[in-house]
Amino acid sequence: MMAKRKREITQAKIEKFIKEGRGQGSGKDYLPWLRIQDVPSEGRATRGVGWTTGRRHELLSDIERDYCYLLDYSDDVSDIREQFPLLPLEETEMIAEKLGVEHPADPKTGVLIVMTTDFLITYKDKNYARTLKPKSELENERTIAKFEIERMYWETHNVDWGIVTDFDLPDTLVRNIEWVHKEFHNDDVTDLGVFVVQNLQRVLSERLYSGESIARACLACDEQIGVEIGTSLALFRHFIARKIWSVNMNERIVPTLAPKEFVVNEIVERLAKGG
């Protein structure tokens, strides 16, 4: 049996994290303060390669994952830094004291915890701090006290801070992004070569324009071009993810139906977000 990971916070652990450079860097080089293995996660912790950053994100709950999909899909977001530490610790300590609330501490060691904000986002060259919480937890007094520390911290740093709940997330759009997400980085594009990919684009788009269902058009395209079954469907998702093609993302994409408002965007931005 594997030894249970020690999750307690000690002064040595905080110093180790700082030395490792956690909470520092940007883009691909940013190191989140917390990793999935450092905390008991709510829901399924996921690590997908981000479109915006090109690195794996440490997302500790379903709501964080869903919000990250939306950020990835936005052309105006240039950086996503999750589990961002509110450092130096003395600063949040002073704020808690000023507010007359208890600063979060480790229940076992009593050591003060470095607080984190779920996301620090660079949107149109400006930073925004966002905290994710299910709406059901917003009534909790302790949660509100922690939010107040967070809010004041960001206020002193002149960064816009806000709370996002599960009710704020457009579920259909999120699920559609999730469906295409992993095909953003698709090896077939380079393996098949430009000629085959362009041919596939032409054949598949003609079929989709004629009103055929996604699944049927993709299968027929695989057979016509002579590629492995499933290739066209993966590339359909890739073209949507890269915005080379577009469909109505606010209506659920159902492979057994024709795509809604299907358009081949004239400009094929080969090197869209993420290169």
Asked if 92 and 228 sit in the same domain, the reply is no
57 and 156 co-located in one domain:
yes
33 and 150 belong to one structural domain = yes
Q: Return the structure tokens found at 50.
A: 């981000």
State whether 19 and 139 are in the same domain.
Answer: yes
Given a cut of 50, is residue 271 above it in pLDDT? no
Domain boundaries, position 33: 11-169
Q: How far does the chain reach from its first CA to its final CA, in angstroms?
A: 43
Pair (129, 260) in one structural domain? no
Confidence of residue 116 (pLDDT cuts 50, 70, 90): very high
Asked if residue 271 belongs to a domain, the reply is: no
CATH code of the domain in which 28 resides:
3.40.1350.10
Q: What is the mean pLDDT of residues 235-243?
A: 96
Backbone angles phi, psi at 73, to 5 degrees: -75, -20
Q: Could you tell me if residue 272 is inside a domain?
A: no
What's the token pair of residue 214?
């996604």
Q: What is the pLDDT of residue 42?
A: 57
Q: Does residue 64 sit in the same domain as residue 15?
A: yes
Average pLDDT, the chain: 91
Q: With H, G, I as helix, E, B as strand and everything else as coil, classify residue 230.
A: coil
Q: Are residues 137 and 222 in the same domain?
A: no
Ranges 8-22, 65-79, 166-180: which has the least confidence: 8-22
Q: What pLDDT is recorded for position 36?
A: 79
Per-residue pLDDT tens digits for 136-162: 999 999 999 999 999 999 999 999 999
Domain final residue, candidates 100, 134, 169: 169
Residue 159 lies in a domain: yes
The last residue of one of the domains, among 169, 194, 215, is 169
Q: Tell me, yes or no, whether 132 and 209 share the same domain.
A: no
Give me the pLDDT at residue 2, please.
42
Other CB atoms within 10 Å distance of the CB of residue 18: 17
Q: Which helix (H) or strand (E) holds 162?
A: strand 160-164
Is 226 among the domain residues?
A: yes
Looking up residue 209, the CATH number of its domain turns out to be: 1.10.10.10
Q: How many domains does the chain have?
A: 2
Residue 30 sits in the same domain as residue 157? yes
**Buried b / exposed e along 66-86 (16+ C-beta atoms within 10 A):** bbbbbbbbeeebbbbbbbbbb
pLDDT bin (cut points 50, 70, 90) of residue 267 is very low
What predicted TM-score, i.e. pTM, was given to this entire model?
Answer: 0.89
Res. 12: pLDDT tops 50: yes
Any domain includes 270: no
pLDDT of residue 274: 41
Whether residue 161 sits in one domain with residue 31: yes
pLDDT tens digits along 101-112 = 999 999 999 999
CB–CB of 45/59 below 8 Å?
Answer: yes
Output the pLDDT for position 37.
77
Final residue in a domain of this structure, among 107, 138, 169: 169
Q: Tell me: do 157 and 33 sit in the same domain.
A: yes
Task: Give the pLDDT confidence of 35-82 residue by residue, as tens digits.
Answer: 877 776 555 555 568 999 999 999 999 999 999 999 999 999 999 999
Looking at residue 156, its pLDDT comes to 97
Q: 117 and 38 share a domain?
A: yes
Residue 2 within a domain: no
Residues with Cβ within 8 Å of residue 180, at least 6 apart in sequence: 237, 238, 240, 241, 253
- Residue 115 reports pLDDT greater than 60: yes
pLDDT-wise least confident of 145-149, 168-172, 184-188, 223-227: 184-188
| 105 occurs within a structural domain | yes
